[in-house]
Structure 1
Amino acid sequence: GRGFPAEIANELATSCFFGSMFRNDGSLPLDFDLTTWKVVHKGKKSQLLVREYWKQRLQDQVLPQAARIALNWSLMPTVQHFEPGDYNWGMTVYGLSPGESFDLHLKILLDGKPVEATLSGLQCAPEKLN
C-alpha cells in the first residue's frame, strides 16, 4: 500500500487503472491533454482522474510524502507533446468500478490539427478477492 491508509488504498484500487503507453510512430508532432478525453459509461460522460485530480483529492489526507510521489510518478502526465519517435507510459484512471465496461473518446492534436477517435468496449479489471 506504499503507506496509504486502507480507505485510500481501496479507493485507488477500485478506480479502474489501466497501464497505458503512448507512442508517436508518425512523422508529425502530436499533443494530448487527458482532461479533454471522455469516459462514456452507460450513456454518461465523465473525465479521467488525472494527476491534478488525485493531488486535490488527497491534499487533506495524512500520507507519507513517498506515497504521494509514487502515485504522482505512476500516473500518465496530463498534458504531453510528442515529436516523432517520442513515447511515454503511465497509469490512466477511469473512475469506474471493477468489471465495468466503457468507451473512451479521445482527442489529440496532430501537427496542431484536432483528431478524435473512440475506443469502444474497454473493460476495467474485475475485482479479485483472495
Structure 2
Amino acid sequence: MAQRGGLTPILFMLAWIALAAQAAHGGEVVHGEDPDTGAPLWHWRGEGTSLRVAARFPGQTRAFFLGRGFPEEAAKEYSRSCVFHITLENLSGEKLRYTLDQWRVRREGQSRPPVPEQDWQARWRTAGVPERARTAFDWSMFPAEEELGQGGWALGMVSMGLEPGQRFDLVARWRQGGERREAALEDLFCPKAR
C-alpha cells in the first residue's frame, strides 16, 4: 500500500475520525485537507450539529460555472470572491433553523454576513448572464435559510466576499430546540490559484 506523508490512507482516515470524535464532545474545530482536491477544510461538530466548511480553489469554482454556461468574466469574478462549500447537518432530535444573514465573516475588526445570493443574482442579470446559468447558480448555492429536521442537511457554495489569500473567522448561528447556538471557526483562509 502506498505511503502518504508517513501515514497510509487508512491510518490517515482513522486519525481524522478520532479527531472528529474528540471534537464532537467539545464542539471544537478539526482542520484538514480535502483528500480529492487538497483544499483546506474545517469541521465543527457538537451540540447535535455538524458543520463542514471546505475552501474552493478559484480555478475549481471558475471551471464549475463555465461548465454551466457562465460567461468567462462572470465565472472569474465569482471564483475570486473567496468561495467555500458548506454542509450543515442536524444530528439532534430537535429542529434546527438558520438564516445565513445572521452568520458573520469577521476580519480586521469588521463583521458582516457572507455575500447574499440575491446580490450575485442582481449582478448576473445586469451582466446579461443567461437565465439557465443563473438557475444553475441558484441550485449550487447554500440556501439562505432553512429548517432542518433530524438527519436533515443543507449544502452549497457561499461567497465570503474576500480576496484570495485573505484570512478571516466565520461565525455560524442557528436555533435548535428553541435555543440559540453558534460555532466559531477561526483563521480560515481564502485559497489562491493552484
What residue identity is the alignment partner of 1:66? R
Q: Which residue of 1 aligns with 2:52?
A: none
Q: For residues 117 and 177 of structure 2, what CA distance do their matches in structure 1 show?
A: 25
Q: Deviations over 1:78-127 (max 9, x none)?
A: 00000111112111110111121110122101122211331111111112
Structure possessing the higher relative contact order (Cα contacts under 8 Å, 6 or more residues apart): 1
Give unpaired runs (5+ residues) of structure 2. 1-65
In the alignment, structure 1 residue 45 sits paired with structure 2 residue 114: no
Q: Which residue of 2 aligns with 1:32?
A: 98
In the alignment, structure 1 residue 3 sits paired with structure 2 residue 69: yes
Q: State the TM-score, normalizing by the size of structure 2.
A: 0.62
Number of residue-to-residue matches in the alignment: 128
Give unpaired runs (5+ residues) of structure 1. none
Q: What is the aligned-residue identity percentage?
A: 32
Local SS of the residue matching 1:77: coil
Q: Which residue of 2 aligns with 1:80?
A: 146
Provide the aligned C-alpha RMSD in A: 1.4
Local SS of the residue matching 1:57: helix
Q: For residues 112 and 54 of structure 1, what CA distance do their matches in structure 2 show?
A: 32
Q: For residues 108 and 81 of structure 2, what CA distance do their matches in structure 1 show?
A: 16
In the alignment, structure 1 residue 12 sits paired with structure 2 residue 89: no
Q: For residues 125 and 99 of structure 1, what CA distance do their matches in structure 2 show?
A: 6
Q: For residues 111 and 120 of structure 1, what CA distance do their matches in structure 2 show?
A: 26
In the alignment, structure 1 residue 95 sits paired with structure 2 residue 161: yes
Q: For residues 191 and 176 of structure 2, what CA distance do their matches in structure 1 show?
A: 31
Q: Which residue of 1 aligns with 2:12?
A: none
Measured at CA, do residues 112 and 56 of structure 1 come closer, stay the same or move farther in structure 2, by a change above 3 Å?
Answer: farther
Local SS of the residue matching 1:12: helix
**Bigger fraction of residues in helix:** 2
Q: Which residue of 2 aligns with 1:70?
A: 136
Q: For residues 82 and 104 of structure 1, what CA distance do their matches in structure 2 show?
A: 21
Bigger CA drift: 82-91 or 57-66?
57-66
Post-superposition offset of 1:3:
3.1
